[in-house]
């Protein structure tokens, strides 16, 4: 009975596999960075659904803080420091973030608001400057109100001296009030959303990265 000796030259395959092995860290880093930017976009898109009329500043809150490399297979997605200050309570719970005011919230009453329902920064600076100068704006500390004195009417006042009490109310305007701080009533879900994106899209991101690595190896 004749024997058949079978041999294969695997040297080329071994070289290809060796080249492929060298590409694996690149594929891993590429997949991690792809996921990191998917998470960044997903988080920023979610803010437009969580908050009513969010500022563009808030919609750019998420960043890829650190990209993965072949030598360091870790990518980091985080909130930018300026936005994290006021968004963190929505992630971990607690009261709204405030700028001083003994922890109180500054609520606009009869003052110009921007399209997002908030006090424009320039307007707030102007009001604070007026408060410092003690001119036509003053604080009713007992009730936590900020008033603006209005100019005296040009027409002559008539009636008894005591009748001016009612007119006094019309010569000032309530601009702002300090309201007690309170817990946030929305949930950011930043960490959970990011992990969900990793769980649902991680496999595809790695498969795509391996395909790119194979093409590169060729």
Statement to judge: residues 54 and 28 lie in one domain = yes
Residue whose C-alpha is closest to residue 64's, from 92, 31, 35: 35
Quick one: pLDDT at residue 211?
Answer: 86
Quick one: pLDDT at residue 79?
Answer: 96
Distance in angstroms (rounded) separating the CA atoms of residues 61 and 78 = 8
Could you tell me if residue 192 is inside a domain? yes
Quick one: pLDDT at residue 129?
Answer: 72
Q: Is residue 73 predicted with pLDDT exceeding 70? A: yes
Quick one: pLDDT at residue 213?
Answer: 82
Quick one: pLDDT at residue 166?
Answer: 43
Statement to judge: residues 80 and 115 lie in one domain = no
Instruction: Give pLDDT tens digits for 85-123.
Output: 889 989 998 777 766 544 555 555 666 666 656 667 777
Could you tell me if residue 203 is inside a domain? yes
Q: Rounded mean pLDDT of 171-192?
A: 81
Could you tell me if residue 159 is inside a domain? no
The more confident residue out of 154 and 92 is 92
Statement to judge: residues 79 and 45 lie in one domain = yes
Q: Phi first, then psi: give them for residue 209, nearest 5 degrees.
A: -65, -40
Whole-number mean pLDDT of the chain? 78
Residue whose C-alpha is closest to residue 69's, from 18, 22, 30: 30
Q: Is 174:145 a contact under the CB 8 Å cutoff? A: yes
Could you tell me if residue 6 is inside a domain? no
Distance in angstroms (rounded) separating the CA atoms of residues 113 and 106 = 13
Could you tell me if residue 2 is inside a domain? no
Could you tell me if residue 63 is inside a domain? yes
Statement to judge: residues 107 and 121 lie in one domain = yes
| Residue 193 Cα distances to 10, 37, 38, 108, 209, angstroms | 46, 13, 11, 33, 22
Angle at 188 between CA 185 and CA 191, to 5 degrees: 145
Quick one: pLDDT at residue 72?
Answer: 94
Q: Per the structure, how many domains does the chain have?
A: 2
Q: pTM here?
A: 0.67
Statement to judge: residues 191 and 133 lie in one domain = no
- Within 10 A of 141 (CB to CB), how many other CB atoms are there? 8
Could you tell me if residue 140 is inside a domain? yes
Domain that holds residue 35: 21-94+184-217
**H or E segment to which residue 140 belongs:** strand 137-140
Statement to judge: residues 82 and 114 lie in one domain = no
How many Cα atoms sit within 13 Å of 141 on the Cβ side?
2
Residue whose C-alpha is closest to residue 172's, from 205, 146, 144: 146
Instruction: Give pLDDT tens digits for 25-61.
Output: 889 999 999 999 999 999 999 999 999 889 899 999 9
% pLDDT > 90, the chain: 35
Quick one: pLDDT at residue 108?
Answer: 56
Could you tell me if residue 9 is inside a domain? no
Burial of 84 (0-12, 13-18, 19+ CB in 10 A): middle
């Amino acid at each position: 009975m004749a024997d058949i000796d079978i041999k294969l030259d695997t040297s080329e395959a071994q070289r290809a596999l060796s080249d492929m092995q060298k590409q694996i860290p690149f594929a891993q880093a590429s997949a991690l960075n792809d996921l990191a930017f998917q998470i960044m976009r997903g988080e920023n898109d979610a803010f437009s659904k969580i908050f009513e009329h969010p500022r563009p500043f808030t919609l750019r809150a998420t960043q890829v803080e650190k990209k993965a490399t072949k030598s360091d297979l870790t990518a980091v997605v985080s909130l930018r420091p300026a936005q994290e200050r006021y968004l963190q309570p929505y992630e971990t719970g607690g009261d709204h973030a405030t700028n001083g005011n003994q922890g109180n919230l500054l609520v606009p009453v009869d003052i110009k608001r921007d399209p997002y329902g908030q006090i424009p920064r320039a307007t707030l600076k102007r009001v604070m400057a007026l408060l410092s100068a003690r001119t036509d704006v003053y604080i009713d500390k007992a009730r936590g109100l900020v008033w603006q004195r209005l100019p005296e009417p040009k027409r002559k006042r008539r009636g008894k001296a005591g009748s001016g009490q009612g007119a006094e109310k019309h010569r000032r305007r309530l601009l702002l009030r300090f309201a007690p701080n309170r817990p946030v009533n929305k949930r950011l879900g930043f960490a959970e959303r990011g992990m969900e994106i990793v769980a649902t899209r991680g496999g595809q991101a790695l498969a795509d990265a391996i395909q790119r690595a194979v093409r590169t190896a060729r």
